[in-house]
Chains A and B, each alone.
Chain A
Amino acid sequence: DAGVTQSPTHLIKTRGQQVTLRCSPISGHKSVSWYQQVLGQGPQFIFQYYEKEERGRGNFPDRFSARQFPNYSSELNVNALLLGDSALYLCASSLMPGTYNEQFFGPGTRLTVL
């Protein structure tokens, strides 16, 4: 069975540009979460979506937005990129939201902002 897939694998952008990252959850999983992992640190929660509705949002500026589609895939958008947005962006899927529902992580998208 395919795990969580993310695209693209790597991305290079310049300051001020906009970027869209994509995530396909494990088949049957309806909840998707996004995390930002800066080099040398643990992942930081950005968003959680379930049934196309935002269920949670971390402490990130409004430049970050996301959405979930009817097939449960998801996109993360970041506008007006800053150098500090350079990071590994991880997507995780679970059957549904909830404390004890295991989150399965994808390999991530490495974003570099120059």
Chain B
Amino acid sequence: GENVEQHPSTLSVQEGDSAVIKCTYSDSASNYFPWYKQELGKGPQLIIDIRSNVGEKKDQRIAVTLNKTAKHFSLHITETQPEDSAVYFCAAVVGSARQLTFGSGTQLTVLP
């Protein structure tokens, strides 16, 4: 089955710096890669996604890159703010099953 690995498990950055979270996937049939932010006491919320026919996507301070050959994708947050502090999850969807397989999460802390 699909396996998604996520690194690092914890990440601390100074406010204003950039943060990068990386994920790898195992199934070459994966074709959709969403990123979720989960705040304490809440369910995950989609923040950005990318499809397999695109190499990069950007939305204001957030960007995602995809390398299909290497089977890895990354989340980039620039100009981090304290409100960016949360747990971030990458996920992958395999086309036929259409199920989300999540990574293990990254606890991002933005220090003021």
Q: Is the CB of A4 within 8 A of B102?
A: no
Does B44 make an interface contact (CB < 8 A)?
yes
Q: Is the CB of B99 within 8 A of A43?
A: no
Q: Is the CB of A107 within 8 A of B32?
A: no
Interface size class of A (residues with CB under 8 A): 20 to 34
Does A40 make an interface contact (CB < 8 A)?
yes
Q: For the complex, what is the distance from the CA of A55 to the CA of B99, rounded to whole Å?
A: 10
A:29-88 near B, CB below 8 Å: 33, 35, 40-45, 48, 55-56, 58-59
* Nearest-CB residue, chain A, relative to B98: A99
15 contacts between A and B (CB under 8 A): A35-B100, A40-B104, A42-B4, A42-B6, A42-B89, A42-B91, A42-B104, A43-B89, A56-B98, A99-B95, A100-B32, A100-B51, A102-B34, A107-B42, A108-B43
Contact with B along A77-113 (1 / 0, CB 8 A): 0000000000000101000011110111111100000
Distance (whole angstroms) from the CB of A66 to the closest CB of chain B: 14
Q: Is the CB of A97 within 8 A of B105?
A: no
Interfacial residues, chain A to chain B (CB-CB below 8 A): 4, 33, 35, 40-45, 48, 55-56, 58-59, 90, 92, 97-100, 102-108
Of B43, B91, B98, B99, the contact of A106 (CB 8 Å cutoff): B43
* Nearest-CB residue, chain A, relative to B36: A105
Distance (whole angstroms) from the CB of A9 to the closest CB of chain B: 9
Name, among B6, B97, B98, the residue most crowded by chain A CB atoms within 10 Å (CB to CB). Answer: B98
Does B46 make an interface contact (CB < 8 A)?
yes
Instruction: Point out the residues of chain B lying under 8 angstroms from A98, CB to CB.
Output: 98
